[in-house]
Amino acid sequence: MSASSAARTRLQVFRVVILVLTGAFFLIPLLAMLDFSTRDFLAEGRTWAAWGLLVTDPLLRGSIIISLVLSLLTALGMIVLLVPTMIWVRLRVQWMSRIVEFLCLLPLTVPPLVIIVGLKNVTLWLNYLIGDTPYWLAFLYVVLVLPYAYRALDAGLSAINVTILAEAARGLGASWLTVIAKIIVPNIKTALISASFISIALVLGEYTFASLLNFDTLQVTIALQSKANAQESVAASLASIIFAAALLIVLSFVSGGRKARRTVGTPIAPIPVEPTRETQ
Amino acid sequence: MARSRVARLSSALGLVPFLAYLVIFLIVPTLAVAVGAFTTAGRPSLANVAGLADGAILNSLWNSIVLSAVTALIGGVVGALLAYAVVTGRPDGLLRRLVTSICGVLAQFGGVTLAFAFIATISGAGVVSIWLDATFGTAFTSSTWLFELRGLMLVYSYFQIPLMVIVFLPALDGIRIQWREAASNLGATTWQYWRHVGLPLLTPAFLGSLLLLFANAFAAYATAAALVSQGSPIIPLWIRSALTSEVLLGRENLAYALALEMVVVVAIVMVAYSLLMKRTARWLQ
Amino acid sequence: MKNLRTSIAALAAASGLLLAAVGCSPPPAAEPAGEGTSGAATAASAADLGGMDKLVEAAKAEGALNVIALPPNWANYGKIIEGFKTKYGITVNSALPDGTSAEEISTAQKLKGTDRAPDVFDLGQAVTLANTDMFAPYKVEKFDTIPAGLKEASGLYVGDYGGYMSIGYDSKKVPDVTSVDDLTKPDYKGKVALNGDPTQAGAAFNGVMMVALAKGGSADNIQPGIDFFGDLKKAGNFLPLDPTDATVQSGQTPLVIDWDYLNAANTAKIPTWKVVVPENAVVGGYYNQAINKDAVHPAAARLWQEYLYSDEGQNLYLGGGARPARADDMTKAGTIDQAAFAKLPKVSGTPVFLTEAQNKAAADTLNKEWAKVAG
């Protein structure tokens, strides 16, 4: 029918226009970063010197390592804290699930800046108990990633029937540890990976906590180096964006197969996919 | 099967580690801020909260609200359109996966890198500035608008749009194609479908997402900290100034008061958001 | 409902206990390493330790020094740190090079008891006077040769180097500046930068004061300076961007109002960079050295001070374009670096040094008026 094919063309045109415009909006700054970081101010050519500094500058290299380790520690901490808790809530304390959900989304409400301002005593304790290393930032980062990790894990746990699995395993004599580690975790692998990747991306991009506590993580160093060598900072920024994007793209492909099967509803479309068959 | 109070309490104990963790790292700082806002030199006082009424601070509060509202709107509209463009494609197609991953990065990745992205693009020495000046004779290379409020609006939009895509996609996903078919079977045109079915269904989710974007922009610190080196046009930068200034000393408790102000504004917005989300959930079961 | 009540009660009890525990500070940390062994932490002069040689010994035994907020191009600190390292073989850990004086103090408070706590401070006047309870008094060997107006009688804090506010500019990019009034001319559109926000950074604060003096204000009246910057903003000449090495090199900030020694550092990199101190608008300021009472390396901290006030250290400051505190004494003794001294910008007019009260009054005025003018 001409009306629906006209509608379909309109839709396709609309989609192309939107995708091209937003694609350009997002791509241009990234390309500009590439151009800026490779520009040779003196000799009017291209130079990869700034990118080389990513590996050779000890300050930057050190901060990359600190950030990577912090992100892994955060992902680990998040898993250790959230997975048993959420499983326990589903199995034994369903009446607290609303409260737990609220608490997990609470960090979205309290700006990190506010948390840092009020953290003086806690940081003194952490320094006292653990010593002076940037790695106890992981404790704070776990709070930051809670909302996103909760949502990912919640989706994963909702898709499997935790109660039945747990009861069956307990009935066969498994201990709680076995239930969690050997029965449930393998079934929520995608959600775990998703939550971990999001945590890693978040920690790699975190600036507020680290800068106000004077730790040299990646973002803090990037901001610092901008005063001495702007090109190095821009190169490091672009590298970290690309790395995080690669991480999340890989994630989406790893979970892609399962996702298609678990789609909640078929996607919205202004006209059915097979117009001739459905509408007649 | 009635379970004794003891059994119920003891199972709640399983949550103690989680609750303790949150109390230490989230509740206590927030309470410290609330208490500190009403303290001066160790004694309770209203001076800091009164200081919030200062002309310059009120101006910054207004700027913060305007910045958050404008970028929430821009992000909301463009993000919704982009989400729609994505969702009308194949659900497991390359486009959707690519777009959602990239949006995930840009939305949560953080201010410093974005600040530098825009410095490289449109600051005085930026690629696009140079091109624009050469082609259109504009004055971007000698202008510093990127480091003022308007610049912040542009850069904030860069992470608001992806955030909208992420937050709004599930709502779009939930609109069943069957409803569209039913509408067209009853003789509705596209416009009528949207006006009477689609938009009313999506409005709560859309407004809720706008609120989330507002709160996100209001609380953002890193981007502004990396871009704006002079002046405190928005509240988070006032906090930075109160904590690190070497000219005006002893303003730490003012920082607490400012932080409390931030929590209050964001809390109001988030409560409105969760109320709207509850309404949406009813439709998207 | 019962569940809700019990859960709330449990939550409240747990929170209460934790709040009580977390609300109080941790027990004071173990005493820093150098404390008991050499008594350096309480030494008020080298003589207390048995002479310079004993001080050097104790410092070398500590092996490291924590400094903070010392950028390499600031008054030649890069070379000074190198000099200290080479002379005594002590590692220098330089933290937070772009920190403000206020951040030095807050970092010291935050890191108290840890290994990273700063040992020595280099602070602007306002912050020094506000935090004297954090310092340990120490008189360097050459203490008596320092002018009385630049030191605290017991050695709690001592001026180390200073300079005058100046206008620095790239003569290739902007025409020569002869007076402050020139800055409103259209040649300087979008080019006039302050080194920071005047309500936050001491250098910018003094820059506004310099302009105030040039426009008829005084040490007690900074308003003409604020008004002038308002005019600059209206003319589109004011550039609210922090000048950094990068922006100076790329030409984004071709004119900077800053301490003369900081502008002098730019001349080293850009030969066409000129530095001028406006006539009869001479605002002087000295930075102050102080030793952290809870220094992690007390002997190394004191040795650092001795080094800074030695002829070698003071001449290194001079090499960076800063005026050393002992300049008068060294000129008399002939130990000053004549060539470097001659390179300092000419100053005509009586230098104005703000007192604590004037500082505070001007800061309060700025706090109220600056945002209205410069946004």
pLDDT score of B8 more than 60 = yes
Return the pLDDT at A278.
33
Cβ–Cβ gap B259/A117 under 8 Å: yes
Interchain contact, C197 vs B246, CB within 8 Å: no
- pLDDT tens sequence across C232-274: 988 888 888 888 887 887 777 899 999 998 898 888 888 899 9
Average pLDDT over residues A127-153: 84
Query: Using 50, 70 and 90 to split pLDDT, how confident is the model at A279?
Result: very low
CB C167 within 8 Å of CB C254: no
Residue of C nearest to A98 (CA): C4
Band of pLDDT at residue C32, cut at 50, 70 and 90:
very low
Domains of chain B and any CATH numbers: 55-283 (1.10.3720.10)
Q: Mean of the pLDDT values across residues B116-142?
A: 81
Give C104-119 pLDDT, tens digit per residue: 988 888 778 778 889 9
Which pLDDT belongs to residue C27? Answer: 56
Q: Which C residues, 116 through 175, put their C-beta within 8 Å of a C-beta on chain A?
A: 116
Between C2-16, C314-328, C347-361, the lowest mean confidence (pLDDT) is in: C2-16
B125:C18 CB<8 A: no
Q: Return mean pLDDT, chain B.
A: 83
Which residues in B lie closer than 8 A to residue A263 (C-beta atoms)? 91-92, 173
All residues of chain A having their beta carbon less than 8 Å from the beta carbon of residue B239 are 113, 117
Nearest to B246 among C7, C126, C372 (CB): C126
Q: Strands C135-136 and C352-353: what pairing?
A: unpaired
Report the residue from A131, A132, A227 with minimal CB separation from C246. A227
Cα–Cα distances in angstroms (integers) from residue B153 to residues A23, A33, B138, C303, C369, in the given order: 19, 19, 20, 51, 26
pLDDT at B116 over 80: yes
Is pLDDT of A129 > 80?
Answer: no
Q: What is the pLDDT of residue A255?
A: 66
Question: Is a pLDDT exceeding 70 seen at residue A231?
Answer: yes
pLDDT band at C207 (very low <50, low <70, confident <90, very high): very high
State the CB neighbour count (10 A cutoff) for residue B165: 30
Region B195-214: what's the mean pLDDT? 84
What's the pLDDT at A116? 80
Burial category of C255 from C-beta neighbours within 10 Å (exposed 0-12, middle 13-18, buried 19 and up): buried
Quick one: pLDDT at residue A121?
Answer: 75
Which tens digits make up the pLDDT trace of C291-302?
Answer: 999 899 999 999
Amino acid at A203: V
pLDDT for residue C166 = 93
Percentage above 90 pLDDT, chain A? 9
**For residues C212 and C264, what is the distance between their CA atoms, to the nearest angstrom?**
23
pLDDT band at C28 (very low <50, low <70, confident <90, very high): low
User: Is residue A109 scored above 80 in pLDDT?
Assistant: no
- Reported as a single tens digit per residue, the pLDDT across A239-260 is 888 888 888 788 777 765 444 3
Please judge whether B184 and A279 are an interchain contact, meaning their C-beta atoms are less than 8 angstroms apart.
yes
Interface residue of C2, C22, C98, C232 to substitute, partner B, most B CBs within 10 Å = C22
**Domain boundaries along the sequence of chain C:** 8-161+284-342, 163-283+351-365
Residues of chain A contacting residue B33, judged by C-beta atoms under 8 Å apart: 114, 117-118
SS3 content of chain B, % helix, strand, coil (to 5): 80, 0, 20
Which run of H or of E encompasses A186? Answer: helix A185-187
Domain C163-283+351-365, CATH 3.40.190.10 — does that match?
yes
Q: What band does B3 get if pLDDT is binned at 50, 70 and 90?
A: low
Neighbours of B94 (CB within 10 A): 12
Whether A185 shows a pLDDT value over 60: the answer reads yes
Per-residue pLDDT at C84: 93
**pLDDT per position as a tens digit, B157-170:** 988 999 898 888 87
Please, are residues C68 and C121 in contact by the beta-carbon 8 Å criterion? yes
Integer Cα distance of C28 and C50 in angstroms: 30
Q: What are the tens digits of pLDDT across the range B220-249?
A: 888 888 888 887 888 888 888 888 787 887
Q: Which residues between 212 and 251 in chain A have a beta carbon less than 8 angstroms from any beta carbon of chain B?
A: 212, 219, 222-223, 226, 230, 233-234, 237-238, 240-241, 244-245, 248-249, 251
Provide long-range contacts, Cβ within 8 A and 24+ apart, for B14-20: B14/A85, B14/A88, B14/A92, B14/A93, B15/A85, B15/A88, B15/A89, B15/A93, B15/A96, B15/A100, B16/C14, B17/A81, B17/A85, B18/A81, B18/A82, B18/A85, B18/A100, B19/A103, B19/C11, B19/C14, B20/C14, B20/C18
Pick the CATH number of C8-161+284-342 from 3.30.2130.10, 3.40.190.10, 3.40.630.10, 3.30.200.20: 3.40.190.10
Asked whether the predicted pLDDT for residue A147 surpasses 80, the reply is yes
State the average pLDDT over residues A28-50. 81
Which amino acid appears at position C112 of this protein? K
**Whole-number pLDDT of residue C126:** 85
Question: How far is residue C323 from each of residues A95, C155, C337, measured CA to CA in Å?
Answer: 71, 20, 11
C8-161+284-342 and C163-283+351-365 agree in CATH topology? yes
